[in-house]
A and B are shown apart, each in its own frame.
Chain A
Amino acid sequence: MNLEVPNKYKGLLKSAYTASEGILRPISRKYDVGEHTYPRELDLLAAGLNGMNDASGGAVGGATSKKEEVKKGEVKNGGNMANCLNIQAICYGDVGLLLSFPRQGLGNSAIGAVANPEQLGRFGKLWASMAITEPNVGSDSAAITTSARKDGDYYILNGEKIFVTAGERSDVVVVWATLDKGLGRAAIKSFVVERSNPGMKLERVEKKLGIRASDTAAFVLSDCRVHKSNLLGNPEIDVKKGFAGVMETFDNTRPFVASMALGCTQAALERTRELLKDKLSLTNYKTPINKVKAAEAEFYRMEAEYEAARLLVLRAAWLADNRIPNSMEASICKAKAGRIGTAITLKCVELCSSLGYSYQELLEKWGRDSKILDIFEGTQQIQQLIIGRRLLGKSSSELK
């Protein structure tokens, strides 16, 4: 395993951090306060980003890189590692804004992963969001009730979807629906639905704890007609293959979400170090930890947690780059980074006292932004469940 960050990425990362500090940070509070205002500054950035994606062989938001074969004995640091580092760098600027980057939605990942060439041609350049969660279905995504009924060359979709990130701003929504609720996971298919489709109505955008720069939409689908060519992947219900294909998308995206948590955490740690530099000596790595000030000791512990999470993320990315199955490691890094992200950003609020708690600094905002990263793309509990299953060699029906 080689977790060294390759030289070839250093230039890219430098420009990502520059964009973070020069463009995102200055508008961070503006779109936190002005929730639901479209951050038009991002349109300028999007062009630059596309260039970066081409260079790194992957996309910042996770439109999956091409599957490249790894030669025997060769060790690669490829698109996944580059993505993780990039995402962290951007989220060091602002997590909410990253989630709102045009054409970098989770739906784009799904399209990148399973679309056929014709679909890739039609949808590849669009901004695609992803609609899975329903009012009564959260983590157990196999239990969704939105239905898709075949009618000639069309499918007719009915149901309600919530928590669709970038749902309002995207061009298309990738909607999960079941062809036959009785058949379970295997009958769940994803459909690309244009935002202009009259059968899909935007119900509302949520007011939220954090990531306020990103819009979170609720949709109602009533007899929404979608052409069969918009179904992603295999239209047949293959009970044998089941859910695994769908869930693979998440093996890829969990390290990205973990990287978001790392970026947010890094921002809080660095700002705290700066704010407290006259009160504490935070570079004293020689004094035994029990003899330094309590606040310093907290800081060192947080740095250690951050480093541990960072290495776990790099490992999961490295495994993916080298085509080694990483489902367990992806969950481990997501669980750890999500957990320490909330713990560290909140502890920084506390350490910086009035500056930490007020709107004067962004620390309280990071304390809010980090929470969703421990929830979406699989909650802490779901990650632990996945880890448990992999460790014990149990299927999802054996260990729920």
Chain B
Amino acid sequence: MNLEIPSKYNSTLEMAKTVSTNVLRPISRKYDVGEHEYPKELDELAQALEMFRGASTGKAKTAPNPGEVRNGSNMQFVLFTQTLCYGDTGLVLTFPGRGLGNAAIDAVASPEQLEKFGKLWASMAITEPNSGSDSASISTTAKKDGDDYILNGEKIFVTSGERCNAVVVWATLDKGVGRAAIKSFVVEKGTPGMEVIRVEKKLGIRASDTAAIVFTNCRVPAANLLGDSEINVKKGFGGVMETFDNTRPIVGAMALGCAQAALEKTKELLKNYTKANDFKTPFYNLQSAEAEMIKMEAEYEAARLLVLRAAWMADNKIPNSMEASICKAKAGRIGTLITLKCVDLCSSLGYSYQELLEKWSRDAKILDIFEGTQQIQQLIIARRLLNKTSQELK
């Protein structure tokens, strides 16, 4: 395993850092306070966005030669994501042109579909009012009608659901058949029967819009179904869930970016109050605030290495489902802990709107929830460790 960051990424990461510091940070509070306002500054970020697009789609399609070690696009993409989220997680989530739906399209679309939908900004609609982590239990239906499917149901927590051009909707062809009957459909904005009924007011990531969408006899061409249209009970859910193996390290990287921002700011704010740590004084003789900082740094480093490992495995075509969950669980957890502890350490500056520390602590929470909660990650890890199926261990 080689977790060294290749020097070829330096320029990309430097650019991302510049964007973070000069473009995202200055508008961070503006779109936190002005929730639901479209951050038009992002439209000007064409170059960075191209990078964003390129990095996520340029996945290694071939296995490395024996003995070859590769640091490829997965590693680059997690580093890139971390650097941008160091700027602002909410804004990264609302970068035009790149939604979670795009990841799904890239993963399973046919060449024609890629041609048709590849350039759209696609969000992803899975969660329903009565179906959260257990996404196999969704009740939005898709009924075949000639060359179309007719969708009915309600979807919530659709990130970028209002601003996107298309929504990838999960629906079941036959609720009785279970996971295998769940298919995803690309529904373009403006399709009759699809209505955004509200955008949520939220704890954090307020720059990103989170929509609730209702489908009422929404007619979608059969050609918009992603993947295999047959109900293949044998194959089941695996294919759908693979998308998440790829995206969990990315969410882990978001949490790293947010935690890194809080740690650096805290160090800066406290530099006159705490001794510059020399890493020589025995831990227990340090001032307690310094000891907290060092513990947090250690946690951050541990999470960072776990994220890099998961990405490295993906780049080298080694199955990484467990490692992806481990890094997401760790990074999500320490992201919330670290950002909140930084609020605490910086006292009035940490708690007030003067600094962004309180905002980062709010932003961090969702990263321990979406793309699989802490509990779901632990469940996945346990299944892999114990070699149990989802039926055997729920």
Inter-chain CA distance A97–B287, complex, in Å, is 40
Is the CB–CB distance between A290 and B289 below 8 Å?
yes
Q: Mark A114-150, 1 if CB is under 8 A from B, else 0.
A: 0000000000000000000000000000000000000
Is the CB–CB distance between A292 and B284 below 8 Å?
no
Interface of B is mostly: helix
Taking a contact as CB atoms closer than 8 A, the residue among B284, B287, B288 that contacts A351 in the complex is B284
Is the CB–CB distance between B345 and A294 below 8 Å?
no
Q: Mark A33-55, 1 if CB is under 8 A from B, else 0.
A: 00000000000000000000000
Q: Mark A278-305, 1 if CB is under 8 A from B, else 0.
A: 0000000000011111111110000000
Residues of chain A contacted by B288 (CB below 8 angstroms): 289-294, 296-298
Is the CB–CB distance between A295 and B345 below 8 Å?
no
Cβ-based interface call for B32 (8 A): no
Cβ-based interface call for B114 (8 A): no
Look across to chain B and name the residue whose beta carbon is closest to the beta carbon of A288.
B347
Inter-chain CA distance A291–B270, complex, in Å, is 12
Is the CB–CB distance between A293 and B285 below 8 Å?
yes
Inter-chain CA distance A293–B289, complex, in Å, is 8
Cβ-based interface call for B286 (8 A): yes
Cβ-based interface call for B290 (8 A): yes
Inter-chain CA distance A295–B283, complex, in Å, is 8
Question: Which B324-347 residues have C-beta < 8 A from chain A?
Answer: 344-345
Q: Mark A167-180, 1 if CB is under 8 A from B, else 0.
A: 00000000000000
Is the CB–CB distance between B284 and A291 below 8 Å?
no
Look across to chain A and name the residue whose beta carbon is closest to the beta carbon of B292.
A290
The count of A-to-B residue pairs whose CB atoms sit within 8 angstroms is 33
CB distance from A370 to the nearest CB of B (A): 21
Is the CB–CB distance between B287 and A292 below 8 Å?
yes
Q: Mark B288-307, 1 if CB is under 8 A from A, else 0.
A: 11111000000000000000
How many A residues touch the partner, as a band? 10 to 19
CB distance from A337 to the nearest CB of B (A): 24
Residues of chain B contacted by A295 (CB below 8 angstroms): 284-285
Residues of chain B contacted by A297 (CB below 8 angstroms): 288, 291
Is the CB–CB distance between B286 and A290 below 8 Å?
no
CB distance from B295 to the nearest CB of A (A): 9
Residues of chain B contacted by A296 (CB below 8 angstroms): 288
Residues of chain A contacted by B285 (CB below 8 angstroms): 293-295
Is the CB–CB distance between B284 and A298 below 8 Å?
yes
Look across to chain A and name the residue whose beta carbon is closest to the beta carbon of B289.
A290
Is the CB–CB distance between B345 and A293 below 8 Å?
no
Residues of chain B contacted by A298 (CB below 8 angstroms): 284, 288
Q: Mark B12-32, 1 if CB is under 8 A from A, else 0.
A: 000000000000000000000
Inter-chain CA distance A293–B275, complex, in Å, is 12
Residues of chain A contacted by B283 (CB below 8 angstroms): 294
Q: Mark A252-296, 1 if CB is under 8 A from B, else 0.
A: 000000000000000000000000000000000000011111111
Inter-chain CA distance A297–B291, complex, in Å, is 10
CB distance from A319 to the nearest CB of B (A): 31
Inter-chain CA distance A84–B289, complex, in Å, is 37
Inter-chain CA distance A294–B295, complex, in Å, is 11
Residues of chain A contacted by B284 (CB below 8 angstroms): 293-295, 298, 351
Which B residues contact A (CB, under 8 angstroms)?
Answer: 283-292, 344-345
Closest 6 pairs (CB-CB, A-B): A294-B291, A297-B288, A295-B284, A290-B289, A294-B288, A294-B286
Task: For the A-B complex with A290-B288, A293-B288, A295-B285 known, give 16 more contacts whose Cβ atoms are closer than 8 Å.
Answer: A289-B288, A290-B287, A290-B292, A290-B344, A291-B289, A292-B287, A292-B288, A293-B284, A293-B287, A294-B284, A294-B286, A294-B291, A296-B288, A297-B288, A297-B291, A298-B288
Q: List 17 A-B contacts (CB under 8 A).
A: A289-B288, A290-B287, A290-B289, A290-B292, A290-B344, A291-B288, A291-B289, A293-B285, A293-B287, A294-B286, A294-B287, A294-B288, A294-B291, A295-B284, A297-B288, A298-B288, A351-B284
